[in-house]
């Protein structure tokens, strides 16, 4: 039998000096004002459980469940608390001890039986497209949040897209699990930008979900099985960088795939490094940007997407208040914790609408879906676009 809270590290927990400087950056503390819904409160709770000074209590698990895993606290913590590692280990430990529940059981089953299998996920995507045509997805909240699904993303013949013009680089591209079904247009635009920047783009053939959604939900064993399978296919390829256009996946690959160290690049990070050709078109758009938590806080990438967007001709840039605070999407969070997710979203929508932007650019499919559904509900015409789509408009 495994030791209770055996994955949580004493050393990691001990880095918190309880200063409270992270509190106002934490979305769940901001909307509740409760210490128990703050990073400091959660670290305290997990420390007591780990030391055995507080008995594990099913009621208290809610404070762990309500954490978005956004890692905003990690970005502002002066003590260098590795909060992402703490919450992922804590969640995995909690999963061993808590009572089974329909909600958690269903999400784990969906991850293991659906998200981890590209063929099944494609079939689910086709069924959802049909359900949308018949108007059936409007019945449930999660169905109403979905974007209008297009034809799913298709890899090019031979799993390679050639560079446009002289080839300067060879990169691999993460197709991922839900993104090719929810937002194939973001992938299409990202690949076009890479080609324009002189990259030959390779699509690893047997690649599956990177495991990020699994790890965020406390299923570290599921995440590890996917990592092993994916590493086999990555080892067979020859590439300078594995380019990722979904912030949550990029952060997970950087943290959990040590063999790829230094080669995992967010799309904006890579394009800022290698440069894009001169844009051909004037955009004439007022644009703002919502930081994806796993890009801004986990990968510490804030400047590159902003610089790329601002370099496009005709962009009227407007910085949003609290742009680096979570929108409440956080992977499966908006489905598992809809009330808190919606409370967090309302502050985000107020800040977003105050910008008067035509377009808000994002770097993660979860943020895109959350903002689109929130803006729709408020009757706004503001468009939500992946950074790749926005940049591709200029070419
Ligand atoms: S997590 Fe960091 S910022 Fe927050 S209370 Fe602990 S030491 Fe202070
Ligand atoms: S990860 Fe996000 S929601 Fe969780 S404690 Fe940190 S700031 Fe708060």
Q: Does the pLDDT at position 129 exceed 90?
A: no
Report the nearest atom of ligand 2 relative to the CA of 66.
Answer: 3
Q: Could you read off the pLDDT of 14-57 as tens digits, one per residue?
A: 999 999 999 999 999 999 999 999 999 999 999 999 999 999 98
The domain that contains 20 carries what CATH number? Answer: 1.10.1060.10
Residue with the smallest CA separation from ligand 2 atom 8 is: 26
Single out the residue of 354, 345, 355 nearest to residue 376, CA to CA: 345
Task: Record the tokens describing residue 38, joined without a space.
Answer: 């703050």
CB 39 within 8 A of CB 26: yes
Residue with the smallest CA separation from ligand 1 atom 7 is: 16
The domain total for the chain is: 2
Task: Record the tokens describing residue 43, joined without a space.
Answer: 């670290």
Residue 247 lies in a domain: no
Q: Could you read off the pLDDT of 45-95 as tens digits, one per residue?
A: 999 999 999 999 889 999 999 999 999 999 899 999 999 999 989 998 998
The domain that contains 343 carries what CATH number? Answer: 3.40.50
Q: Does the pLDDT at position 2 exceed 70?
A: no
Residue 232 lies in a domain: no
> How many CB atoms sit inside 10 A of residue 54's CB?
14
**Ligand that comes closest to the CA of residue 22:** 1
- How confident is the model at residue 23, as a pLDDT? 96
% of the chain surpassing 90 pLDDT: 77
Residue 303 lies in a domain: yes
Q: Which of 72, 97, 122 is the last residue of a domain?
A: 97
CB 301 within 8 A of CB 268: yes
Residue 58 lies in a domain: yes
- How confident is the model at residue 102, as a pLDDT? 81
Residue 194 lies in a domain: no
* 179-183, 212-216, 298-302, 316-320: the lowest-pLDDT one: 212-216
Q: Which of 78, 97, 116 is the last residue of a domain?
A: 97
Residue 126 lies in a domain: no
Residue with the smallest CA separation from ligand 1 atom 8 is: 19
Site to probe by mutation for ligand 2, drawn from 39, 336, 366 as the one with most ligand atoms within 8 Å of Cβ, is 39
Residue with the smallest CA separation from ligand 1 atom 4 is: 22
Question: Any alpha helices (H) in 1-137, and if so which ranges?
Answer: 10-14, 27-32, 39-51, 61-65, 72-76, 83-97, 102-110, 118-133
Average pLDDT score over residue span 163-171 = 97
The verdict on the CB of residue 297 being under 6 Å from ligand 2 is no
Residues 6+ apart with CB under 8 A from 175: 153, 155, 187, 203, 207
CA of 9 to the centre of ligand 1 (A): 16
Q: Could you read off the pLDDT of 190-212 as tens digits, one per residue?
A: 999 999 999 999 999 999 999 99
Between these two residues, 148 and 10, which has the higher pLDDT value? 10
Q: Which of 43, 64, 97 is the last residue of a domain?
A: 97
Q: What is the DSSP string of 77-103?
A: -TT---HHHHHHHHHHHHHHHSPP-HH
Judged on CB neighbours under 10 Å (0-12, 13-18, 19+), 71 is buried
Residue 169 lies in a domain: no
The verdict on the CB of residue 310 being under 6 Å from ligand 1 is no
Residue 31 lies in a domain: yes
Site to probe by mutation for ligand 2, drawn from 72, 88, 215 as the one with most ligand atoms within 8 Å of Cβ, is 72
DSSP annotation of 113? I
**Ligand that comes closest to the CA of residue 31:** 2
Residue 310, domain extent: 285-392
User: What pLDDT band is residue 332 in, cutting at 50, 70 and 90?
Assistant: confident
d(CA 120, CA 368): 23
User: What pLDDT band is residue 1 in, cutting at 50, 70 and 90?
Assistant: very low
């Amino acid at each position: 039998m495994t030791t209770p809270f055996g994955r949580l590290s004493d050393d990691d927990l001990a880095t918190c000096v309880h200063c409270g400087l992270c509190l106002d950056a934490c979305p769940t503390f901001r909307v509740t004002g409760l210490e128990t819904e703050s990073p400091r409160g959660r670290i305290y709770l997990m420390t007591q459980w780990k030391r055995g000074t507080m008995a594990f209590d099913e009621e208290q698990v809610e404070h762990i469940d309500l954490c978005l895993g956004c890692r905003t606290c990690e970005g502002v913590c002066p003590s260098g608390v590795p909060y992402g590692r703490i919450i992922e280990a804590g969640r995995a430990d909690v999963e061993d001890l808590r009572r089974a529940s329909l909600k958690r059981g269903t999400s784990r089953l969906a991850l293991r039986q659906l998200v981890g299998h590209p063929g099944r996920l494609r079939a689910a995507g086709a069924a959802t497209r049909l359900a949308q045509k018949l108007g059936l997805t409007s019945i449930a909240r999660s169905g109403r949040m979905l974007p209008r699904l297009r034809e799913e993303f298709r890899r090019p013949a031979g799993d390679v897209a050639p560079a446009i013009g002289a080839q300067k680089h060879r990169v691999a591209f993460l197709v991922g699990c839900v993104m090719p079904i929810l937002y194939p247009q973001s992938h299409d635009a990202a690949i076009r930008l890479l080609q324009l920047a002189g990259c030959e783009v390779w699509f690893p053939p047997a690649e599956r979900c990177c495991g990020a959604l699994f790890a965020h939900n406390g299923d570290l064993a599921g995440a590890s099985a996917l990592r092993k399978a994916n590493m086999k296919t990555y080892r067979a390829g020859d590439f300078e960088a594995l380019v990722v256009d979904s912030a949550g996946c990029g952060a997970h690959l950087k943290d959990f795939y040590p063999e790829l160290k230094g080669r995992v690049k967010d799309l904006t990070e890579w394009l800022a490094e290698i440069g894009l050709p001169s844009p051909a078109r004037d955009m004439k758009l007022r644009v703002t940007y919502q930081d994806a938590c796993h890009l801004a806080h986990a990968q510490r990438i804030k400047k590159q997407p902003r610089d790329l967007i601002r370099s496009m001709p005709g962009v009227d840039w407007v910085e949003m208040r609290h742009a680096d605070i979570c929108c409440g999407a956080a992977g499966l969070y908006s489905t598992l914790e809809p009330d808190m997710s919606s409370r967090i979203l309302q502050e985000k929508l107020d800040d977003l609408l105050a910008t008067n932007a035509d377009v808000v650019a994002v770097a993660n499919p979860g943020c895109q879906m959350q903002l689109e559904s929130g803006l729709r509900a408020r009757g706004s015409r503001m468009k939500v676009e992946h950074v790749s789509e926005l940049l591709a408009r200029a070419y």
